[in-house]
Amino acid sequence: MRFFDERRLQLLRWVSERYLAPLSVVIERSYPPRVAGEERAPAGRPGEAGAGHAERGRPQPAPSSGVLARYGEPERLLEAGSVTWLRPLPDDEALVCVEAVGACAAAGRQGLVLVPEAEPLPATARAVLDAFGDRAVFFAGGDERTRYRTWLDIQSGRHDVVVGTRPAVFAPLNALGLIWISREAHPGHREERSPTYHVREVAVARARLEGAACVLASLSPSVETAVLAERDDVRVARAPRSLERAAAPLVETTAPEAEDRSPRLTRLLRSSRTAALIVSRRGYGVARICRTCGAAARCSACGGPIVAEGGEARCAVCGLEGRCSTCGDTSFGLEPGGTERMAEWAARVSPSGIEVGTAAMERNAAHAHAGRRHGASTRTAAAGGRDRSVGRRVRCARPSEAGCPCGRGVRRDPAAGGPRRAARRAEAGFAPTHPVFRIAGQPPLEERLCGAGAETVLATTLAERTVCLAAVRPERLAEFRRDVLRLVVEGIADRVEAEPQIS
């Protein structure tokens, strides 16, 4: 059974060429595994998966709250072939997405909403599914039969709106009018299997091929989106600055001797029923000086910092009892501050229980997981639960008398950091708009990739095995692809992976 027409084949060819993947692999991964029995099964009844607007005639738009107008003219946002980065206000994205999809459906077109994860179901996905009822379908997860049945129903035109994760970018919608990418900077939008495509790039390419609008929604844009917006290759839709400022969370810096406390925080805690306090370090304080010899406090075993926690001093690195590396004594002068110290203070100022902990964001943790766990810590604590990350460290700068590094790093406009991050990547040889590939094989792989037109090549060789990270200028991608295929035929390269995560 064929799952693509000539227009869809154009998209699949583009993916094959852009990500250096065989066209056969791209086609195979663009639809769920076939279950022949479902092709003979009757379509779903109304109210079931597979039921849609085919039985009810022209779809009606979802109720409008008028929130879309905050971001400019809806007609401009939904203009065919346009790509727009939209920065929603906190808690606004679901409403804006529902209105945009509703306007698209009212014009007789179909909508595709892509979210980075299925569990837990993002608020935007839930809002769209609730607003459109049977006219919408969720395409993510499930067994092979369910996924294939849903795919057939989408292809038959039974749904106006498809909500899903990465594979849904290829959903067979024949009257596509809008592709909405929720949290476009989220690392979950990158496919881990071959072809290792990025949803953002595929969605933009599909929108332009099929005359649809593509909206990249996020509070802070990815580096790639920020660069394209700076070049005017991507439009920008934002609420007025007065609304952004009013909706922005309060950020306050304090002097070191204040131990991360302030009169405003005290008032808030006294008036709050529940609260979550995320502190930058664990314990009651950090040992700074040995009371006996006056030397700087360091662990006698490993030289690590000594932390006062649970009523005793221990090394934060090796966990042994804290002893001075100079005289061996165990009496230290402390710089107070940490989860225990903050919890002690919060118990005095607040009549209700306050959960105090640190976010699990160690230096060796992946940024994606760190961000999710930080959010989970906050939500769990606010709900009165206890998160497993309590007692671990978060890496952040502390205020100093000469100036507050934290304060300098906090901006009301997170989009402003994109060009700076892009400049750092370009300086390292991996400009955000240049395709990047991880290629593995045998020597002389590095030399051959340089000769193939790679702008930058970083290589590691161990035991006759070479792994290279190569960046290519977009205009040289076709030539580079031909040369890499030649290396594969010659046995010099045996694995090619596109778009490895670079922060």
More confident: 265 or 379: 265
**Cβ neighbours for 189, distance < 8 A, ≥ 6 positions apart:** 114, 116, 166, 181, 183, 198, 199, 200
Question: With 60 as the cut, is the pLDDT of residue 432 above it?
Answer: yes
Query: Contact at 8 Å (CB) between 197 and 19?
Result: yes
Mean local confidence (pLDDT), 118-123: 91
Mean local confidence (pLDDT), 2-27: 90
Mean local confidence (pLDDT), 150-177: 95
Mean local confidence (pLDDT), 305-327: 92
- Tell me, what's the pLDDT at 65? 65
Mean local confidence (pLDDT), 51-59: 39
Q: How confident is the model at residue 165 (pLDDT cuts 50, 70, 90)?
A: very high
Mean local confidence (pLDDT), 81-95: 93
Mean local confidence (pLDDT), 342-364: 66
SS3 239: coil
Asked if 6-247 and 434-498 have one fold, the answer is no
Domain 434-498: which topology?
Answer: Alpha-Beta Plaits (3.30.70)
Q: How far apart are CA 99 and CA 37, in angstroms?
A: 38
pLDDT digits over 191-243, tens only? 988 899 999 999 999 999 999 999 999 999 999 999 999 999 999 999 998 89
Task: State the chain's mean pLDDT as an integer.
Answer: 82
**Cβ neighbours for 387, distance < 8 A, ≥ 6 positions apart:** 357, 376, 377, 380, 381
Query: Contact at 8 Å (CB) between 369 and 363?
Result: no
Share of the chain above pLDDT 90, in %: 59
pLDDT digits over 97-106, tens only? 999 999 999 9
Calculate helix-pair angle for 6-18, 477-490, nearest 10 degrees: 70
Domain coordinates in residue numbering, the chain: 6-247, 255-283+338-411, 285-336, 434-498
> What ranges in 118-256 are assigned the alpha helix state H?
123-132, 144-155, 199-210, 223-230, 241-247
pLDDT digits over 237-281, tens only? 999 988 988 887 777 777 777 887 888 888 888 887 777 888 878
CATH code of the domain made up of 6-247: 3.40.50.300
**Most confident region among 36-50, 166-180, 351-365 by mean pLDDT:** 166-180
Q: How confident is the model at residue 43 (pLDDT cuts 50, 70, 90)?
A: low
Q: How confident is the model at residue 485 (pLDDT cuts 50, 70, 90)?
A: very high
